[in-house]
A and B are shown apart, each in its own frame.
Chain A
Amino acid sequence: MKKVLAILLAGMMTATAFAGCGGSGDASSSGGSSNASGGSSAKASGGKVDEAMFGDETDITLKVWAPDKGVSLAKQHIEEFKKMYPNIKFKKIDVVAQGEGEAATQLVNDPNKAADVFSFPSDQLNKLDAAKCLSPVSKAFIEDVTATNAESTVKAATLKDSKSKEDVLYAYPETNDNGYYLVYDKKVVSDDNAKTLEGILKACKDAKKEFVMDCGNGFYSCTFAFTAGAVIDGFEEDNETQKFKEYDEDEAVDTLMAFAKLMKEYKGTWKSQDPAQIASGFKNGTLGAGVDGSWNSVADKETLGNDFGATKLPTINVNGKDKQLISMFGYKYLGVNAKTKFPRTAHILAYYLASEKCQQDRAEKLGWGPSNTKVSETEFVKNDVTLQAIAAQSQNAVAQVNIQGTFWQAMGTLGNEMMKDGWKPDDKAATKKLLETTISDVRDEG
């Protein structure tokens, strides 16, 4: 048994070969002929198009991937979609459950057996692009998609084609919510305390509760670097090396030292744990607040009930000045498989699923933050605490696109090092060295 196991489990290594994290810029794919501008007579708006746009596609068979919780709603949307085009012959449109986190991996593994239309988070965009798995947004819809969705979301899905140097929009914006924010128990942390990191930690310590923020996972711990000013900004000219915005090193080091000082001071209160534990922590009554992802908000809300509080990440006091924590923030997109047998229908369907109406439904029924600007302004979204917290944090965040694979581990190490018992928060030289090492590791400078 041991041998079989060793052989089979060990295969994960190859799985990572399939699915290396992140990805680099596109290597080679031509923007193609740009002779075609949106069809002369065909019009597209609000998710609906002329039936002529389907061309000669008939007996249409499609597969759609949606995350588990979204399957039934997606099915409903597809029924509505079919009704919109009574003269088109649809044979079968299946909705298959597939977690978004893994969608890209599955697609790259075997595009021929994957879905035609699928939902995926923004950090997978480079990988899909490098593997040439995405069919870019139809030119007929670009104008409408750009006009109706938040600018940041559209921008994050726009990559430069390395050959033609044209900007290409690769996927249809679906949500604007793939990030983390602060959740807290109102019994422990007051709304006022929730504004500063110091306040939260003090309130938690006084109540003998914990504060959870994962410092070993690059997705969360990059907050320290971002807040310090070391913000990533796409790639360098070589389309491979991660670029950082210019920052003031002294201030950056001071900020990191401020974080480390709080970790030290509130040792035992500030716990570095997987956010999956946060809901349990609230339930057990050991937790006062935590930095949690939007995908866990249902469980958090259910546990805390009326005491549930959610807001953007707090500020931290650096040299007497309150600095807002800057987080990593992602979006979700609907992509069209480049290998689809019905490209027109797939694009029209993706366009519909990304439309205002569908986004509204998803915001109401699933609690997904919309990218559509109109939906963001609706009463429902305005009154939802979580969605508002997410939206507020998205103003203080770095988009999760164009990230080199080396980023996550280096940032995880940064958090881990500062969290270590032996770390000296007032050692300026060591902090400076840590920051330099982190940056050079991200940039893969040997």
Chain B
Amino acid sequence: MTFVEYKMLNPFQRFAYNFKKFFKSIPGAFGRFFSACGRGIKKFILGIGKGFKNYGLTFVKGDWATKLSYLIFGVGDLHKGKTYKGILFFLVELLYAFYMVFFGWYWFKDFFTLGTRETYTTYDDFGFPQVHAGDESMKILLYSTLTIVISVIVFIVYIANIKDAYRHQIMRQNGEKPTTLKQDAQEFLDGKYHITLLSFPVLMIGIFNILPLIFMILIAFTNYSKEHFTLFDWVGLQNFGQLFDVINSNKKATTFMGIAGWTLIWAIVATFSNYILGMVVALMINKKGIKLKSLWRTLFVITIAVPQFVSLLLMNQMLQENGAVNILLGHLFNGGESMGIKFLTDDVWTARITVMVVNCWVGIPYTILSMSGILMNIPEDLYESARIDGASPVKTFTAITLPYMIFVTTPQLITQFVGNINNFNVIFLLSGGYPCNVAV
């Protein structure tokens, strides 16, 4: 289809066309993904080979100080006059040795068994129980993971130390002087400024996000459960097998599939209902000729400012069988008698729809805010020229406003979709997950 043909389609046909194109492209994307993976693995293996080669070659070519750097960090740098860096390298080795002796090894040695000693009780001569604590698999696993991560980092430093030693050896052979601390500091504010900026955040993310994530992923390969609470063991892929064992209708599998299905429905409905309704309200507020724009926006925005645990627990109270909503509806439609609708406790789908509606109440203001900003940002001259060409308001909307907004907000839409899959607080605070029913 040529560009001109495309332009001649109406919006719905365009949508259908794009929809088809998107799904057609999926197999190709998968293919590209796997071939990229393959290339990555190949590159990785080649990289390792090259690394080994360099490792050996450098040792052969290196002078005594470079050779000694293979054992003691920083000797090469110290010998070549790059004192501060040599000391830093050496300190890393020293600290690592301390860490391993006093902490790391103690936990890591049990990594493969996750502990074997059980807790047991004995009684002393007065009959008092003495509880002898056994191994705690949880701690062994966590601190072993920490040790592994630290070891990998130290290994990287080790390689850097060798490379640096060799680089300085070459520099000396060429008669160059190593840079001073002051020059290096200058460089960290300019050419290597990204290192200065990124080191702190990356360190924080590494320790408190990535490390725990690896740890929790490892837990998926153990039999940690209430039967194996303190002392658990590796079980390989057994948990995954049970989770996807739909053929034997394993209870875990059916539960998981049911929940996953509902989660998908929830994520789609929650994301798009917020998006579309929010867009409509934003358009209304920003329509030419509507006054008090900021007041309308402000009233909606209060929902964002009030902490969700306050507003959602409040909603929960109001949606009870004789809560405020039922009383209000009763006043309006039932002559003062409470309606007694069980929004959250009776039927699964009633509860689900209630949760989705309340989610709109929570989420629409976010969409309104970002959409309002975008609407104000659309260049006025676009509309101007459209008007000169005699386009109707409907036409301007479908041809300028809508495509622009969708284009700009697509990344937000994706983030929101992922956020809704992981969304927990709306449902938890509102209904606590009741009435429990895993079927879709």
Contacts and interface: CB of A to CB of B under 8 A. Distances in A.
Contact of A140 (B126, B227, B308, B425): B126
Given A29-B119, A416-B435, A420-B346, A6 B422 contact: yes
Given A10-B422, A32-B122, A405-B226, A413 B128 contact: no
Interface stretch (B14-22, B246-254, B286-294): B246-254
A142 B127 CA distance: 9
Contacts of B340: 268
Interface string B135-168: 0000000000000000000000000000000000
A139 B126 CA distance: 8
Interface string B246-268: 00011100100000000000000
Contacts of A6: 419, 422-425
Contact of A34 (B118, B120, B123, B227): B123
A374 to B, nearest CB: 24
B228 A13 contact: no
A131 B229 contact: yes
Interface residues of B, number: 48
Contacts of B320: 273, 277
B133 interface: yes
A3 B226 CA distance: 31
Interface stretch (A20-28, A258-266, A391-399): A20-28
Interface in A1-27: 1-3, 5-6, 9-10, 12-13, 20, 23-24, 27
B123 A446 contact: no
Interface string B419-440: 1001111001100001111000
A189 to B, nearest CB: 20
B321 interface: yes
B118 A5 contact: no
Contacts of A12: 424, 428
Interface in B110-126: 118-126
A33 interface: yes
Contacts of B250: 446
A273 B231 CA distance: 41
Contacts of B119: 28-29, 132, 338
A42 interface: yes
A421 interface: yes
B227 A343 contact: no
Contacts, number: 148
B244 interface: no
A101 interface: no
A12 B370 CA distance: 29
A139 B227 contact: no
Given A13-B424, A444-B251, A31 B436 contact: no
Contacts of B373: none
A324 interface: no
Contacts of A136: 121, 129
A45 interface: no
Nearest to B253: A446
Contacts of A31: 121
A312 interface: no
Given A2-B419, A421-B346, A271 B128 contact: no
A213 to B, nearest CB: 13
B422 A36 contact: no
A4 to B, nearest CB: 11
Interface string B392-424: 000000000000000000000000000100111
Given A140-B126, A272-B345, A130 B435 contact: no
Given A23-B226, A130-B226, A131-B230, A338 B133 contact: yes
Nearest to A39: B126
B8 to A, nearest CB: 41
A273 B338 CA distance: 15
A127 B435 CA distance: 25
Given A29-B120, A444-B251, A140 B226 contact: no
Contact of A29 (B118, B130, B436): B118
A240 interface: yes
A57 to B, nearest CB: 10
B345 A10 contact: no
A28 B118 contact: yes
Give chain A's interface secondary structure class.
Answer: loop
Give chain B's interface secondary structure class.
Answer: loop
B309 interface: yes
A301 B365 CA distance: 45
A277 B316 CA distance: 14
Nearest to A422: B347
Contacts of A55: 124, 126
B36 interface: no
Contact of A420 (B122, B304, B347, B429): B347
A37 B127 contact: yes
B366 interface: yes
B365 to A, nearest CB: 11
A229 interface: no
Contact of B321 (A271, A339, A409): A271
Contact of A343 (B128, B133, B429): B128
Most buried by B among A5, A127, A273: A5
A245 B412 CA distance: 56
Interface string A337-370: 0110001100100000000000000000000000
A20 B422 CA distance: 21
Contacts of A10: 422-425
B58 interface: no
Given A130-B229, A413-B435, A32 B126 contact: no
B229 A42 contact: no
Contacts of B1: none
Most buried by B among A32, A37, A42, A271: A32
A38 B127 contact: yes
Interface string A384-416: 000000000000000000000100010011001
A2 B366 contact: yes
B126 A344 contact: yes
Contacts of B251: 444, 446
B123 A32 contact: yes
Nearest to B345: A216
Contacts of A138: 123, 126-129
A131 B347 CA distance: 37
Interface string A413-428: 1001001110000000
Interface of B: 118-131, 133-134, 226-231, 249-251, 254, 304, 308-309, 320-322, 340, 345-347, 366, 419, 422-425, 428-429, 434-437
16 contacts: A2-B366, A3-B419, A6-B422, A9-B308, A27-B229, A30-B118, A33-B123, A35-B123, A55-B126, A131-B229, A132-B131, A138-B128, A277-B320, A409-B436, A413-B437, A420-B347
Closest 9 CB pairs of A and B: A139-B127, A446-B251, A10-B424, A9-B425, A140-B127, A39-B126, A338-B131, A32-B122, A30-B120
Given A34-B123, A40-B125, 10 more contacts: A1-B304, A10-B423, A12-B424, A32-B130, A33-B122, A39-B125, A53-B128, A136-B129, A343-B128, A347-B129
